[in-house]
Amino acid sequence: MENLYLPKLVTIEDAYLETPDVKSFRLVFKDEALRESFTFKTGQFGLYSAFGLGESTFCISNAPTRKGYIQCTFRKTGRVTGGLFDLSIGDTMGFRGPFGNHFPIDEWKGKDITFIAGGIGLPPVRSVILNCLDRREDFGDITIVYGSRCVEDLVYKNELQHWNDRDDVALYQTVDPGGETPDWKGEVGFVPMILEKAAPKPKNSIAVICGPPIMIKFSLSVLEELGFSDNDVYTTLENKMKCGVGKCGRCNVGDIYICKEGPVYTAAEIKKMYYDF
Amino acid sequence: MSQENTEETQATETTETFEPKIMAFVCNWCTYAGADLAGTSRMEYRPNVRIIKLPCTGRIDPLFIIKAFENGADGVLVSGCHPGDCHYTAGNYHAKRRWIAFRSLMEFTGIDTRRLQFSWISASEALKWVDLINNVTDEIKALGPFMDFKNLKG
Amino acid sequence: MEKALREKARELLTTGEANVIIGYEWNRRKTRATPAFITKADEVDRLIFNPLCVNNLSIYLTRKNKDILRMGKPAIVAKGCDIKNIVVLISEGQVKREDVVIIGMSCNGVVYKQGLWKGELRPEIMPVKCHNCDVRNPHLTDFVIGDHIDFTPPETPRGMVFDKIAALDAKTPGERWSFWLEEFSRCIKCYACRQACSLCYCERCITEKNVPQWIETSAHQRGNIAWNLVRAMHLAGRCTFCGECERSCPANIKLNLVNQKLVLTVKDAFDFKSGYDEKIHPPMIVFSPDDTENFIK
Amino acid sequence: MKAMYLKKAELGKLISSVQDSGALFVGPVVDAGNVVYKEIGSASELTGDYIIPVTTYKQWVFPQTEVVATFAVTKEGVDLDGVDLDPPDVVVFGARACEAASLASLRSVFTWGEDDEFYTRREDRITVITVGCTAIDDECFCTTVELSPASTTGSDIYLRETTDDEYMAVAVTKKGEAFIKAHHGVFHQKRAAEPELVELKLPEPIKGIKKEKISAWLARTDNYQSELWPRLTRKCFGCGACTFSCPTCHCFDITDEGTAFGGERRKNWDACQFDHFTAHASGHNPRDTQFKRWRNRFMCKFKYYPDKFKTTGCVGCGRCIRVCPVRLDITEVMEEISQISE
């Protein structure tokens, strides 16, 4: 019987503590055939099981161009993520997915791309960044603005270093005022302010945003001032999900089921939705 | 419930050698110390009891007791400092009020109150602890496995 | 009576003594009374009061209903039995006495379920609480609407609930267990009992606490027994026997029996009846060194 | 297929015939003062004196709680087992026309995109035998939502009572035809004169309600913020009685039960009326007050279902009105919306 709710078993191949409460896993399917056949698109998400505790939803944070494994990053907040957080290399967990729509990267060929992320909002964006970097010649300028509350809370520190070292990426790292350490070399200030400073050119350009609602709100108005069209600004909507397949009825924003029709939307599409955030 | 439980239940049903599982919720300062004294004094008593130590009997939520039964306990023992001896002055008095109501509720619901026992045991009463555990174990052994809860459909 | 109520409501709204009147109004067909929130003085004529006004409106004073709290200072239309709940809310620090205007209604009784109403209040359709009511003249009020009612409740409470409790007490534990198993098995976990209860005011109920998941949320026997026992226990010494939980239960589970059993237990053990004096602490948060029991070894 | 007849006195025969075939027979019985659907053993348990049972028969296609996977955690890893569902045949007798129409709505959700076989396998094996209503109450409003006691949508067999204590049975679907054939010993053809049918009772359509006006008003996203929502629905205190007794409500939760060593994953009914239904782990809740949750229920019935799934979201059975502890009447909201949009 086709069981929509039956997860696939995955093994934690690598685990990495990003911040005191954020962990990244690198997962491989137990089923070797599935390792080969599994594909996903950038922006899609999965449901991750800690057996005995339940399932939790977060994005797949690696790029589909790097095959054979899944990466995810999550913050320990509740029952399931708390359980997942306690797992370590070699442990088994469950995965269902991939679900949802994806970023239309192929349509972005030849354009400049600006990534704007805050805190734990970087993982979904990372998938797009990696995808774009793997096909670097397809795109114009790449700008990344990433900030968090404090230096300790920045995720993917190694990767940030790597992006910083590249000549073909403009990386702006920032922490909220008061969150800096004495040896902090990045910016200090909220993400929207730094975005204003980075001032990406709006023409022939795409912006991808992910982060806390308040950051999204102010970044959107900055982008608007810079002259970005709502059709060129992408974000991913996150809502509580249980089934991932449009049955359980809780992720809807108005008539839109985020898990099936989302989570990736342009700002223009979001403005047309019922206000149910 | 875990498969371990159901297997064990089935096993105990078929044999004469039923060994009850007894859950004891005890306070850190008196009963636990009493049980500890029994241990350090090399007193022997029935191994059927599993102890959960809490700071005070006032911390014992009736929910713990329900949860213990749900998870396959055949009996539950709750024990703490004698009235007036509470390390936190009055935790056991509050607990006593709660137990009066809870025991009445359990009785009204039809749960055999012999499976839910309460006692006061001080840090020096190792003997009382040993006797209590032996008695409670015998009593619950005689009652057999607590099928009321084990038979609940999950 | 309704006229006096409307006048009082108009006065409270115009003077600004209250911003919202929580009362009752007719439904569209005028067959049922339903809660109403009146904020404008020219709408007070919607207010009604009759034996169909069975809801315990004190639920709207709790923090569960934040959007109602945001409407401003409430004046609540309350029968004596509803006032008992307000008293408990005050004694537990949930509501400040000065933050609510209580319009007490003299009451001759209500109907247990509104569907039973055929235009006349007969004893058979009244809930047990009404037959034993000692607060037909409301006890904690700012204003009383209606005439003084001469009614002396029976010395020892009577009625079906008490008979059933006595009958159950006389049975063996095994029989009681099967009775409750059957009752609780019908539970569908809609939590109407919790939501209807003004004393279940937690913003996060124990069933919603999931680290660990104390009470299984599935509506199977195990989860249902745990939920119903814990709900009853959380109301021990607090329940005023307003009966809203049982009335709201779509599965007709006899919640009044467990609740009243605990009311009786608390009365016997601590000589306390909840809902009469807002200055006395509820029995489960205080103690007396003289509390006696016969089961602690 | 021609109309067949079934003597009321021979229901017992039908029940044993169904049970002999290995199927469950579900019908309305009185339980603790309520008429509910229940699996029954004999005809004496059935009641004929009801408007509509308080509970729905959706529990036989979408159980309140069901295991979707079991797992055991061992040193080596996790043993995970799916469920190979083989549900029994179920015959629901005495359904009402309104409720029968709801299975199509549930199916549309559970087969949208991927098929939820926990639902479809059960629904494939259910036979719905509807009895036309000869009594109604104030809460019935099927005629307001374009159904009626005479509609056969969703029924497999439609029964009408006759004045000589029989049912006239019309097979609506192939499944119904097959059912009558399988139990042909109980059904018979009328030989004498045409029987007289007991007249159906139809609720008067509520005049103030205009369906097109409601959809047009709901379609405007600015009306989502209308003051009407809090005004009419703030008395709702957020229990799940309406959703759990609704034949088209489909929301569920997926939860794990057990210990660190093993347990099961369950699919349980859930309700959009509960405050934690949409709450994020961060504490943010998109529907943080009760009127927003109630608004979602209304929108789901009258906007999302019709637009997205092309099925009806509300069949007018009136159960949500009957069970509501604060008597929040969905038709009053429909009427109000129809009127303000004039």
Question: What would the pLDDT profile of C130-169 be if each residue is shown by its tens digit?
Answer: 999 999 999 999 999 999 999 999 999 999 999 999 999 9
Instruction: Supply the pLDDT for residue D1.
Output: 67
- pLDDT value at D60 more than 70: yes
Q: Which residues of B touch C (CB under 8 A)?
A: 62-63, 66-67, 70, 83-84, 90, 93-94, 96-113, 117-120, 132, 148-149, 152-154
Give me B88's structure tokens: 């936190």
What are the start-end ranges of the E strands in A67-219?
A: 70-75, 92-99, 112-118, 142-148, 169-175, 187-188, 205-210
Q: Confidence class of residue D342 from pLDDT cuts 50, 70 and 90?
A: low
Q: Count of domains in chain D?
A: 1
Closest to D308 measured CA to CA, from D101, D108, D144, D120: D108
Whether residue A263 has a cis bond before it, omega within 30° of 0: yes
The distance of C198 to chain B (nearest Cα, Å) reads 21
User: Mean of the pLDDT values across residues A135-141?
Assistant: 90
- pLDDT value at C195 more than 80: yes
Instruction: Supply the pLDDT for residue A97.
Output: 84
Residues 6 or more apart from D324 whose CB is under 8 A from it? D241, D242
The percentage of residues in chain C with a pLDDT greater than 70, rounded to a whole number, is: 100
Cα(D329)–Cα(D304) distance, integer angstroms: 20
In this complex, is the C-beta atom of A79 within 8 Å of any C-beta atom belonging to chain C? Answer: yes
Q: Which of B1, B6, B67, B70 would you mutate first to test chain D, the one with the most D CBs within 10 A?
A: B1
Cα(A102)–Cα(D63) distance, integer angstroms: 34
* Cross-chain CB nearest to D78 (options A3, A51, A239): A51
The percentage of residues in chain B with a pLDDT greater than 70, rounded to a whole number, is: 90
Closest to C105 measured CA to CA, from C56, C67, C138: C138
Q: What are phi and psi of D256, to 5 degrees?
A: -100, 140
- pLDDT value at A66 more than 90: no
Question: What DSSP letter does each residue of C163-205 carry, written as one string?
Answer: HHHHHHHHS-HHHHHHHHHHHHHT-----HHHHH-TT---SS-
Cα(C57)–Cα(C76) distance, integer angstroms: 7
Instruction: Supply the pLDDT for residue B16.
Output: 65
Q: Which residues of B touch C261 (CB under 8 A)?
A: 104-105, 108
Let me know: does B154 contact C220? Beta carbons within 8 Å. Answer: yes
* Cross-chain CB nearest to D68 (options A2, A5, A272): A5
Q: Which residues of B touch D255 (CB under 8 A)?
A: none
What size, in residues, is chain C?
297
Q: Confidence class of residue A262 from pLDDT cuts 50, 70 and 90?
A: confident
End-to-end CA distance of chain B: 8
CATH of the domain at B80: 3.40.50
Closest to B130 measured CA to CA, from B23, B33, B45, B19: B45
- For A90, counting Cβ atoms within 10 Å of its Cβ (0-12 exposed, 13-18 middle, 19+ buried), the class is exposed
Let me know: does D141 contact D113? Beta carbons within 8 Å. Answer: no
Cα(A253)–Cα(A248) distance, integer angstroms: 13
Residue of C nearest to D292 (CA): C67
Q: Which domain holds residue D23?
A: 4-340
B111-129 in b/e form (b: 16+ CB < 10 A) is: bbeebbbbbbbbbebbebb
Give me D82's structure tokens: 């799916």
* Cross-chain CB nearest to C265 (options B96, B101, B119): B101
User: Mean of the pLDDT values across residues C187-196?
Assistant: 94
Instruction: Supply the pLDDT for residue C256.
Output: 94
Per-residue pLDDT of C3-30, as tens digits, reads: 999 999 999 999 999 999 999 999 988 9
Q: Which residues of D touch C203 (CB under 8 A)?
A: 275
Q: CA gyration radius for chain B? A: 15
Least confident of A15-24, C114-123, D313-322: C114-123
Who wins on pLDDT, A238 or C75?
C75
Q: What are phi and psi of C129, to 5 degrees?
A: -60, -35
What are the strands of the beta sheet with C143-145, ordered from one edge?
Answer: C33-38, C20-26, C74-79, C101-105, C143-145
Give me D293's structure tokens: 């949750």
Instruction: Supply the pLDDT for residue A238.
Output: 84
Q: Which of C210, C215, C216, C218 would you mutate first to test chain A, the one with the most A CBs within 10 A?
A: C210
Amino acid type, A22: V
> So where are chain A's domains?
8-99, 105-236
Q: Which residues of A touch C213 (CB under 8 A)?
A: 79
- pLDDT value at D66 more than 80: yes
Please report, to the nearest 10 degrees, the dihedral formed by the alpha carbons of residues D18, D20, D22, D27 taken in order: 30
Least confident of A14-18, A141-145, B2-6: B2-6
Distance of CA A69 to the CA centre of its chain: 17
Instruction: Supply the pLDDT for residue B3.
Output: 41
Let me know: does D81 contact D133? Beta carbons within 8 Å. Answer: no
Q: Count of domains in chain B?
A: 1
Cα(A209)–Cα(A145) distance, integer angstroms: 10
Per-residue pLDDT of D289-306, as tens digits, reads: 999 999 999 999 999 999
The distance of D112 to chain A (nearest Cα, Å) reads 7
Closest to D146 measured CA to CA, from D304, D297, D334, D321: D334
Q: Report chain C's mean pLDDT, rounded to a whole number.
A: 93
Instruction: Supply the pLDDT for residue A38.
Output: 92
- pLDDT value at C199 more than 90: yes
- pLDDT value at B7 more than 60: no
Answer yes or no: do A30 and D77 touch at CB < 8 A: yes
- pLDDT value at D80 more than 80: yes
- pLDDT value at D269 more than 90: yes
Tell me, yes or no, whether B125 lies in a domain. Answer: yes
Give me B34's structure tokens: 């009493």
User: Mean of the pLDDT values across residues A113-117?
Assistant: 93
Q: What are phi and psi of B91, to 5 degrees?
A: -55, -40
User: Mean of the pLDDT values across residues D166-186?
Assistant: 92
End-to-end CA distance of chain A: 36
Distance of CA C112 to the CA centre of its chain: 13
Per-residue pLDDT of C256-284, as tens digits, reads: 999 999 999 999 999 999 999 999 999 99
Let me know: does C47 contact D270? Beta carbons within 8 Å. Answer: no
- pLDDT value at D98 more than 60: yes
The distance of C190 to chain B (nearest Cα, Å) reads 18
Question: What DSSP letter does each residue of chain C carry, written as one string?
Answer: -HHHHHHHHHHHHHHTS-SEEEEEEE-TTSSSEEEEEE-SGGGGGG-B-STT----GGGGGSTT-HHHHTT-SEEEEEEHHHHHHHHHHHHTTSS-GGG-EEEEE--S---SSGGG-SSS--GGGS-HHHHT-S-SS-SS-SEEES--------SS--SHHHHHHHHHHHS-HHHHHHHHHHHHHT-----HHHHH-TT---SS-GGG-BTTB-S--S-SHHHHHHHHHHHHHHTTTT-----HHHHH-TT---HHHHHHHHHHHHHHHH---TTS-TTSPPGGG---TT---S-B-
Cα(B76)–Cα(B140) distance, integer angstroms: 10
Instruction: Supply the pLDDT for residue D188.
Output: 87
Q: Which domain holds residue B137?
A: 19-148
Cα(D322)–Cα(D54) distance, integer angstroms: 8
Cα(C241)–Cα(C263) distance, integer angstroms: 8
ipTM confidence score: 0.91
Q: Are strands A92-99 and A45-50 parallel, antiparallel or unpaired?
A: antiparallel
Instruction: Supply the pLDDT for residue C109.
Output: 93
Q: What is the pTM of this model?
A: 0.92
- pLDDT value at B110 more than 70: yes
Tell me, yes or no, whether B2 lies in a domain. Answer: no
Let me know: does A244 contact A99? Beta carbons within 8 Å. Answer: yes
Give me C233's structure tokens: 């226990």
Instruction: Supply the pLDDT for residue A230.
Output: 92
Amino acid type, B140: I
Q: Report chain D's mean pLDDT, rounded to a whole number.
A: 91
At the fourth CATH level, the homologous superfamily of domain A8-99 is: Translation factors (2.40.30.10)
Give me B14's structure tokens: 């078929």
Cα(B79)–Cα(A39) distance, integer angstroms: 58
CATH annotation of A105-236: 3.40.50.80
Centre a 10 Å sphere on the Cβ of residue C163 and count the other Cβ atoms it contains.
Answer: 11
Answer yes or no: do B111 and C261 touch at CB < 8 A: no
Who wins on pLDDT, A1 or C73?
C73
Who wins on pLDDT, D271 or B2?
D271
**D265: which DSSP letter?**
E
Residue whose token pair is 């955030």: A277
The percentage of residues in chain C with a pLDDT greater than 90, rounded to a whole number, is: 85
- For A201, counting Cβ atoms within 10 Å of its Cβ (0-12 exposed, 13-18 middle, 19+ buried), the class is middle
Cα(D18)–Cα(D24) distance, integer angstroms: 7
Q: What is the CA angle C14-C15-C20, rounded to 5?
A: 65
User: Mean of the pLDDT values across residues D121-142?
Assistant: 93
Instruction: Supply the pLDDT for residue A100.
Output: 92
DSSP 3-state assignment of D171?
strand
**Chains contacting chain B through 3 or more C-beta pairs under 8 A:** C, D
Q: Confidence class of residue B4 from pLDDT cuts 50, 70 and 90?
A: very low
- pLDDT value at B5 more than 50: no
Cα(A34)–Cα(C274) distance, integer angstroms: 63
In this complex, is the C-beta atom of B3 within 8 Å of any C-beta atom belonging to chain D? Answer: yes
Q: Which residues of B touch D261 (CB under 8 A)?
A: 2-4
